[in-house]
A and B are shown apart, each in its own frame.
Chain A
Amino acid sequence: MPDATFLDTTELVLNMGPQHPSTHGVLRVILKLDGEKVIGTECVIGYLHRGVEKIGENRTYQQFAPYVDRMDYVAAVSNGLGYCLAVEKLLNIEAPPRAQVTRVILTELNRIASHLLWLGTHALDIGAITPVFYCFREREEVLKIFENYCGARLTTHAFRIGGLQYELYDGFEEQVKAFCDMFLPKVDEYEELLTNNRIWVARLKGVGILSGDECKEFGVTGPVLRAAGVKWDLRKAQPYSGYEQYDFEIPTGQNGDTYDRYVVRMQEMRQAVRIIRQAVEKIPSGPIGKTPKVIKPATGEVYVSIEAPKGELGYFVVSDNSTQPYRVRVRPPSFVNLQALDRMVRGGLVADVVAIIGTLDIVLGEVDR
Chain B
Amino acid sequence: MADEPKPEGGAAEPGKPEAPKAAPPKPAAAGAAAHAGGHAPAKPPAPMASTPWEGELPLRLKERFGDLITQCATYLGQNFLVAKPDAVIPILEFLKLEADFDYLVDITAVDYPNRAERFDLVYVLYSFARNERARIKTMVADGAKPPTAVNVHTGANWLEREVFDMFGIQFAGHPDMRRILLPEEWEGFPLRKEMSIIQQDDRWVRENLGIESGQ
Bound Cα distance A105, B42 (Å): 43
Inter-chain contact A314/B105, CB cutoff 8 Å: yes
A-B contact pairs, 21 of them (CB 8 A): A45-B180, A53-B166, A59-B34, A63-B34, A91-B20, A92-B16, A93-B19, A94-B12, A94-B15, A216-B103, A217-B155, A296-B24, A296-B25, A299-B49, A300-B49, A302-B78, A316-B108, A323-B34, A324-B39, A327-B191, A369-B181
> In the docked arrangement, what's the CA distance between A90 and B49, Å?
12
What are the residues of chain A within 8 A of B154 when measuring CB–CB?
217-218
Binding site for A on B (CB under 8 A): 6, 8-9, 12-21, 24-25, 27, 30, 33-34, 37, 39, 41, 45-50, 75-76, 78, 102-106, 108, 110-111, 122, 124, 128, 131, 133, 135, 153-155, 157-159, 162, 166, 179-183, 190-191, 195, 197
Residues of B contacting A314 in the complex (Cβ-Cβ under 8 angstroms): 105-106, 124
A300 touches B50 (CB 8 A): yes
Chain A hits for B153, CB < 8 A: 217, 219
Please, which residues of chain A bring their CB within 8 A of the CB of B45? 299, 320-322
Specify which of A54, A218, A219, A289 lies most central, judged by the most chain B CB atoms within 10 Å of its CB: A219
Please indicate which of the listed interface residues A289, A297, A329 has the most CB atoms of chain B within 10 Å of its own CB.
A329
Contact yes or no, B105 A305, CB < 8 A: yes
B157, B183, B191: residue with the most chain A Cβ atoms closer than 10 Å: B191
Assess whether A55 is in contact with B20, with CB atoms less than 8 Å apart. no
Name which residue of chain A comes closest to B111, CB basis. A327
| CB atoms of B48 and A301 under 8 A apart | yes
Nearest B residue to A230 by beta-carbon distance? B128
Q: What chain A residues lie within 8 Å of B159 (beta carbons)?
A: 336
CB <8 Å contact, B103 and A58? no
Contacts A54-B197, A298-B6, A322-B33: A91 and B103 contacting too (C-beta < 8 A)?
Answer: no
CA distance A299 to B102 in the complex (A): 30
Cα–Cα distance between A49 and B16 once the two chains are bound (Å): 37
Residues of A contacting B9 in the complex (Cβ-Cβ under 8 angstroms): 298
* Residues of the B chain whose Cβ atoms lie less than 8 Å from the Cβ of A162: 17
A216 to B103, CA, bound (A): 5
6 closest Cβ contacts across the A-B interface?
A46-B181, A219-B155, A94-B14, A329-B108, A331-B106, A218-B155
Q: Is residue A326 contacting chain B, with contact meaning CB distance below 8 A?
A: yes
Question: On chain A, which size bracket covers the interface?
Answer: 35 or more
A57 sits at the interface (CB 8 A): yes
In Å, the complex CA distance between A49 and B75 comes to 32
Q: Is the CB of B37 within 8 A of A58?
A: yes
Query: Of the candidates B20, B104, B124, which one forms a contact with A303 in the assembled complex, judged by CB atoms under 8 Å apart?
Result: B124
With A53-B166, A303-B133, A339-B157 known as contacts, the answer to whether A90 contacts B110 (CB < 8 A) is no
**Complex CA distance for A164 and B159, rounded to whole angstroms:** 33
Given the interface pairs A94-B12, A94-B14, the reply to whether A45 lies near B181 with Cβ below 8 Å is: yes
What is the minimal beta-carbon distance from A194 to any residue of chain B, in angstroms? 31
Once A302-B75, A320-B45 are accepted as A-B contacts, the answer to whether A292 and B13 lie under 8 Å apart by CB is no
A34 shortest CB reach to chain B, Å: 22
A292 and B19 within 8 A (CB):
yes
Per-residue contact bits, chain A 336-369, to B (CB 8 Å; 1 contact, 0 not): 1001000000000000000000000000000011
Q: Of A55, A90, A305, which one neighbours B76 at CB under 8 angstroms?
A: A90
In whole angstroms, how far apart are the Cα atoms of A130 and B176 in the complex?
42
Whether A216 pairs with B102 at a CB distance below 8 angstroms is: yes
Question: Is A335 touching B128 in the complex (CB atoms < 8 A)?
Answer: no
Point out which of B19, B39, B106, B154 has the most chain A C-beta atoms below 10 A from its C-beta. B19
Q: Please state if A331 and B124 are interface contacts (CB–CB under 8 Å).
A: yes
Q: At the interface, yes or no: A238 with Cβ under 8 Å from chain B? A: yes
B193 nearest in chain A by CB position: A57
Give chain A nearest CB distance to B174 CB in angstroms. Answer: 14
Task: Tell whether, in the assembled complex, residue A46 and residue B37 are in contact, meaning their CB atoms are under 8 Å apart.
Answer: no
Complex contact B13–A92 (CB within 8 A): yes
Please state if A329 and B106 are interface contacts (CB–CB under 8 Å). Answer: yes
Contacts of A51 in B (CB 8 A): 190, 197
Q: How far is the CA of A321 from the CA of B88 in the complex (A)?
A: 28
CB distance from B164 to the nearest CB of A (A): 13
B15 nearest CB neighbor, chain A only: A96
Residue of B nearest to A44 (CB): B180
B195: min CB distance to chain A, Å: 8
A96 CA / B122 CA spacing, docked (Å): 32
Q: How far is the CA of A238 from the CA of B132 in the complex (A)?
A: 9
Q: Are A49 and B24 in contact (CB under 8 A)?
A: no
Cβ contacts under 8 Å, B124 to chain A: 303, 314, 316, 331
- B165 closest partner in A (C-beta): A46
Bound CA span A305–B25, Å: 29
B184 CB to nearest chain A CB (Å): 10
